[in-house]
Structure 1
Amino acid sequence: MAAEGDNSIYPIAVLIDELRNDDVQLRLNSIKKLSTIALALGDERTRSELLPFLTDTLDDDDEVLWALAEQLGDADFIVLVGGPDHAHTLLPPLESLATVEETVVRDKAVESLRAVASKLSGKQIEEFFIPMIKRLASGEWFTSRTSACGLFSVAYSLTSNNTKDELRTLFRTLCTDDTPMVRRAAAGKLGEFAKVVEPENVKRDMMSLFHHLAADDQDSVRLLAIEACSSIASLLSKEDIELAVVGTLNNAAKDKSWRVRYMMADKFTELQVAVGPDITKTNLVHAFAGLLKDAEAEVRAAACTRLKDFCEHLGEDYRVDSILTQIMPCIQQLVNDVNQHVKTALASVIMGLSPLVGKENTIEHLLPLFLTQLKDECPDVRLNIISSLDSVNKVIGISQLSQSLLPAIVELAEDSKWRVRLAIIEYMPLLAEQLGVTVFEEKLNQLCMQWLIDNVYAIREAASVNLRNLVEKFGSEWARVAILPKVLSMAKDSNYLHRMTTLFTVNLLSEVCSEDVIVETMLPVVLGLSNDPVPNVRFNVAKTLTKLAHNIPANIVQNDISPCIQDLATKDSDIDVTYFAQESLIAIKQKS
């Protein structure tokens, strides 16, 4: 019995020693072993000994406290204290953690408290959780009051009507707290709380709190109130929104703080969906246009990011007219914005307006803007336009697209900056897919071949990969006619780098070409390069032949490839060539 008793107190004793150690990592590791210790103790002793001990020993490093808060909210740990019937015993240590100074610890404690609350019965909520909320909400330090704000929504629906009245009153007190940090926390949870409050109380209580917070003297509070607006508006009738919400939104779009206007722009489509298309038409289109013209670049960029979604959510009966009369003039200015982040954000979405305004309007209003952006000095602007060409292609057709935009694309593909050329290469398969084989061969095929002899290795390498991707789209027979003659002719080039490029390209094309194409067109050229005067070419022949051997019949490997590699391995005068050839022989034998 004594030995058994000693073992039963061992986990707590060890934990006490480790938590008193000066080594933070040791204390952190001990906290991470709480589940093991609780399992050894059993649920009764975990509740009566371990949890009280943890509650009393919370003076520690923030990282340790965060780990403790995480452990106590874990679903497995709830099981270790005896399951949902005893889950309320986890509240005291988490309540203490919810009052500490470090924000990330408090946030994790609140997250865990919410997880525990989801396991509690209505009786436990009334008996244990609500008193805890009241203590936190009336705490002397603002830290506890900020934590309390995140707990109302998870308890409200499980309480009696009298308690609900108390909770709404208590939340109102937090919304009017003297400390900005508390009001900020309340504003951040206002929308979440409103979703669980009865409709009549939303109109009576939540709306007045929303107006109060939206007019707060701290911009950090006002912007969070705007974030909550979409949740509140979704709970109200059209009439109530017009009376109680629209004015606040219009004020926020013109707020003196750019941070509030930024939040308004960032959340605009959510607000738009919440208030509906009719109110959007009468009130929000003008507000959104104002954000697109905002004095701060961050606000304009945020509004640009939401441009396509905003236009998609406009009512069909007024969408085109609103875009052309109110939004398009703003876009025309933004195309030449002084800030590249604004132009980049616009370029990422502007193509998406084509399906919304139709073919004629795209050609008349949007195509000139696309051309301007394709010539923009910022590479990201140009690339965002190119990557979205499929949206325009579906609307105006490939003929119009090739006439209007391809010259600009060709100009970019020959840009003096190799990184620009590289980026264009990466989008070439996408362009090819949109243009089709005929237009691609006519307009861009020659360009793809020129990249194979570029002065920059990264361009040559990307060009080889590009050809592989094109063959994957257009087929092996297309490669035989349109690609391979030009690629293989480089095997006779006087520049050994071009001959190397031939081998690299063959390597990649062999992955997507048919067996006949490999044997009839690629293999003879590669075998011929085994006599190249440059050692680098010859050992790359060995590597390439190994790759080809995986995709052609065994008899051809035995009769043509193996003898060639054998000669390189035994007769070549260069040590690197013989080494790679021997490696190739081994690889081919393993394959067979």
Structure 2
Amino acid sequence: MESDESLYPIAILIDELKSDDVTLRLNAIHRISTIALALGPQRARDELVPFLQDSLDDEDEVLLALAEELGPSFAEHLGGPPYAHLLLGPLENLAAVEETVVREKASESITKLAALLTPAQIDEHYLPLLRRLSGGDWFTSRTSATSLFAAVYPKVGGDVASTQEDLRKMFAALCNDDTPMVRRAAARDLGPFAKCLSKEQVVTDIIPLYRKLSSDDQDSVRLLTVQDLIAIAEIVSHEETKSYLLPSIRAAVGDKSWRVRYMVADHFVKLATAVGQDVVRDELVQAFVALLKDNEAEVRTAGSGQVPGFAKLVDTDIILARLLPCVRELSTDQSQHVRAALATQISGLAPLLGKDATIEHLLPLFLSLLKDDFPDVRLNIISKLEQVNEVIGIELLSQSLLPAIVELAEDKQWRVRQAIIEYIPLLANQLGVSFFDEQLANLCMSWLGDTVFSIREAATVNLKKLTDVFGVEWARQTIIPKVLQMGVHPNYLYRMTTIFAITTMAPSLNAEAINDTILDAVVPMVEDPIPNIRFNVAKAFEVLASVLSQTDGGRSAVSSRIVPGLEKLKEDSDADVRFFAQKGLQAIENSKTAA
């Protein structure tokens, strides 16, 4: 007879799962792996699994947690793959509940378990489960069943051909189900199932099911068949695509529901890649143009995102004659979301068109989009200019775009100004130091006085990156003097920016630059009347000390100039100042010990 102690884990679990407190029940579910480990494989199989199968909670959150826990990793606590089928029982119950996310998670766990099962286990345990779910009275179980076929179709044992034929018939029945929710699930899972079948079976069995679903009276079913169309096109030959799928492709592009057309537009490059060059040339160019001119902004937005990807599949002549006129229209589209989507992608056309065509056709569109009223359009163009630079060269790009960039640097939207700041180091690296000093240096310094903190912060990071690009000596001559001038400004925000800039730039500087120029400006700021500045001086001292400690002369400066400053701040009247001063002194002491 077992002792009371041996029953302890399961008894606690039972009590917690019967609790009125949802949090307690949820915690119990998250601990079932630990409890299974404590029970051992035999008792976990004999006691824990039956208990879990019989004690379905009414809270979706708890059921979802259980569906997640009962996956392949939990099978290890039952004794490994030979016993993995025992988890199918609890998961079958979860796959039939009303809440969609619980069913989906249960189905996901079932398909993962299928990878552990032998053909004998599949025949004995998995297929009966699949038949029960497929023939369930409630649509919930039938919707779960559709996702379970692909995982085991290639693995069935016994009379393989007969069993696989049964599975195809079961799936076909779900595709023809009276309930739209089941047909929708079947449409979602038709493509993955098709990939398990031979090409002949796809033609004879899957394509008729696809046609049926793609002409369903519910657009929520039809829109999911777009990905099925791609999956089937990837399996059959290009000639078979022409024979069997062309009418369906035309129907999808011209579907009366904008949601179906949106799905076609959103997956257009994948579809074009799958169907072959002949179909692209003869059918899809015209179809793509139609989608880019669609009445619905959502469809045009999705199509705009596919422009460079589709352009890669056609000749340059077609890009210039058929696609570019659409792109011009989209660049002035009444929907800001369409223009924003285009702005993200349009630069991808530059490598395909080459230098001359990019200058002639794309640059005017870039300049137009850079002046767009909608900030996201301007941001998206700026973030993708590198591709254009690689094609036409920085000199031409800077001549064309520099005035626009300078204008955007003063944009009323601070996010636009921030995006320009983040682009400056890349531009500087390509422009060279002399051009940068002449055209952009003053602009970079002006951002340090911006009214928005995020801009001032981004400006200090920008100075660090520029120092990495042009070197410490350039920073000493060009940037550092201007930064330090702000350290004596009457407005404390300017003085604060000086400290931020020094702290951010310090890791990119050397001990000589810090000792010769920066400390002279920072040390007097120990006496600043504003506590916020004093504690930021303490934080700056810590960073400067870490750089200075790398050389003998720097270590001397730490002892003679930084430590006395921190000692003074350690006696400050403000608690925050004292805290950061003490932290800085401790960091210096630790670095000495480590050395």
Whether TM-score is above 0.5 comes out as: yes
Instruction: Give 1:119-130 correspondences, 5 Å limit.
Output: 119-130=116-127
Instruction: Give 1:262-341 correspondences, 5 Å limit.
Output: 262-312=262-312, 314-315=313-314, 318=315, 320-341=316-337
Instruction: Give 1:126-525 correspondences, 5 Å limit.
Output: 126-159=123-156, 160-312=160-312, 314-315=313-314, 318=315, 320-491=316-487, 493=489, 497-525=493-521
Counterpart of 2:555 in structure 1 is 554
Give the Cα–Cα distance (whole angstroms) in 1 for the partners of residues 352 and 489 of structure 2.
51
Task: Indicate if the aligned counterparts of 1:538 and 1:577 stay in contact, CA closer than 8 A.
Answer: no
Return the offset for 1:229.
1.5
Return the offset for 1:261.
1.1
Q: Which stretch shows the higher mean deviation, 537-546 or 48-57?
A: 537-546
Please provide the CA RMSD for this pair. Answer: 2.9
Give the Cα–Cα distance (whole angstroms) in 2 for the partners of residues 23 and 576 of structure 1.
43
Task: Indicate if the aligned counterparts of 1:425 and 1:462 stay in contact, CA closer than 8 A.
Answer: yes
Return the offset for 1:306.
2.2
Counterpart of 2:60 in structure 1 is 62
Return the offset for 1:123.
2.0
Aligned partner of 1:93 among 90, 99, 111: 90
| Deviation sequence 1:434-466 (CA, Å, 0-9, x none) | 333232222211111222334444433332222
Closer/same/farther in 2, CA of residues 76 and 398 from structure 1, 3 Å limit: closer
Counterpart of 2:551 in structure 1 is none
| Deviation sequence 1:256-276 (CA, Å, 0-9, x none) | 111111111122222122112
Task: Indicate if the aligned counterparts of 1:539 and 1:576 stay in contact, CA closer than 8 A.
Answer: no
Counterpart of 2:111 in structure 1 is 114
Instruction: Give 1:27-46 correspondences, 5 Å limit.
Output: 27-46=25-44
Return the offset for 1:533.
8.1
Query: How many corresponding residue pairs?
Result: 583
Give the Cα–Cα distance (whole angstroms) in 1 for the partners of residues 416 and 130 of structure 2.
58
Give the Cα–Cα distance (whole angstroms) in 1 for the partners of residues 8 and 510 of structure 2.
70
Q: Which stretch shows the higher mean deviation, 9-18 or 264-273?
A: 9-18
Closer/same/farther in 2, CA of residues 536 and 217 from structure 1, 3 Å limit: closer
Residue ranges of structure 2 left out of the alignment (5+ in a row): 549-553
Return the offset for 1:505.
2.5
The one-letter amino acid paired with 1:182 is: V
The one-letter amino acid paired with 2:58 is: D
Give the Cα–Cα distance (whole angstroms) in 1 for the partners of residues 576 and 74 of structure 2.
63
Return the offset for 1:582.
6.2
1:81 aligns with 2:78: yes
| Deviation sequence 1:364-408 (CA, Å, 0-9, x none) | 110000001111111111111111111111111111101111100
| Deviation sequence 1:50-97 (CA, Å, 0-9, x none) | 43343333353222222232233x223323333323332332222222
Counterpart of 2:23 in structure 1 is 25
Closer/same/farther in 2, CA of residues 83 and 363 from structure 1, 3 Å limit: same
Closer/same/farther in 2, CA of residues 539 and 157 from structure 1, 3 Å limit: closer
Give the Cα–Cα distance (whole angstroms) in 2 for the partners of residues 510 and 482 of structure 1.
15
Closer/same/farther in 2, CA of residues 67 and 496 from structure 1, 3 Å limit: closer
Closer/same/farther in 2, CA of residues 23 and 582 from structure 1, 3 Å limit: closer
Q: Which stretch shows the higher mean deviation, 459-468 or 340-349?
A: 459-468
| Deviation sequence 1:302-331 (CA, Å, 0-9, x none) | 22222222223x04xx2x122111111111
Give the Cα–Cα distance (whole angstroms) in 1 for the partners of residues 569 and 29 of structure 2.
63
Q: Which stretch shows the higher mean deviation, 17-26 or 272-281?
A: 17-26
Aligned partner of 1:105 among 96, 102, 109: 102
Closer/same/farther in 2, CA of residues 480 and 137 from structure 1, 3 Å limit: same
The one-letter amino acid paired with 2:378 is: R
Task: Indicate if the aligned counterparts of 2:569 and 2:578 stay in contact, CA closer than 8 A.
Answer: no
TM-score, normalization by structure 1:
0.90
Return the offset for 1:243.
1.3
Give the Cα–Cα distance (whole angstroms) in 1 for the partners of residues 341 and 500 of structure 2.
37
Secondary structure in structure 2 of the residue aligned to 1:294: coil
Closer/same/farther in 2, CA of residues 18 and 515 from structure 1, 3 Å limit: closer
Give the Cα–Cα distance (whole angstroms) in 1 for the partners of residues 59 and 360 of structure 2.
64
The one-letter amino acid paired with 1:118 is: A
The one-letter amino acid paired with 1:232 is: I
Give the Cα–Cα distance (whole angstroms) in 1 for the partners of residues 558 and 293 of structure 2.
67
Residue ranges of structure 1 left out of the alignment (5+ in a row): none
Closer/same/farther in 2, CA of residues 47 and 255 from structure 1, 3 Å limit: same
| Deviation sequence 1:467-524 (CA, Å, 0-9, x none) | 1221112111111232223333445656554444334333333321222222333333
Secondary structure in structure 1 of the residue aligned to 2:508: coil
Identity among equivalent pairs (%): 53
Closer/same/farther in 2, CA of residues 40 and 481 from structure 1, 3 Å limit: closer
Give the Cα–Cα distance (whole angstroms) in 2 for the partners of residues 418 and 83 of structure 1.
57
Secondary structure in structure 1 of the residue aligned to 2:357: helix
Give the Cα–Cα distance (whole angstroms) in 1 for the partners of residues 147 and 166 of structure 2.
16
Closer/same/farther in 2, CA of residues 507 and 91 from structure 1, 3 Å limit: closer
Return the offset for 1:27.
2.9
Give the Cα–Cα distance (whole angstroms) in 1 for the partners of residues 577 and 173 of structure 2.
83
Task: Indicate if the aligned counterparts of 2:534 and 2:577 stay in contact, CA closer than 8 A.
Answer: no
Q: Which stretch shows the higher mean deviation, 6-15 or 302-311?
A: 6-15
Give the Cα–Cα distance (whole angstroms) in 2 for the partners of residues 184 and 103 of structure 1.
13
Closer/same/farther in 2, CA of residues 130 and 479 from structure 1, 3 Å limit: same
Give the Cα–Cα distance (whole angstroms) in 1 for the partners of residues 459 and 433 of structure 2.
18
Closer/same/farther in 2, CA of residues 31 and 508 from structure 1, 3 Å limit: closer
Give the Cα–Cα distance (whole angstroms) in 1 for the partners of residues 545 and 22 of structure 2.
58
TM-score, normalization by structure 2:
0.89
Give the Cα–Cα distance (whole angstroms) in 1 for the partners of residues 85 and 575 of structure 2.
72
The one-letter amino acid paired with 2:144 is: S
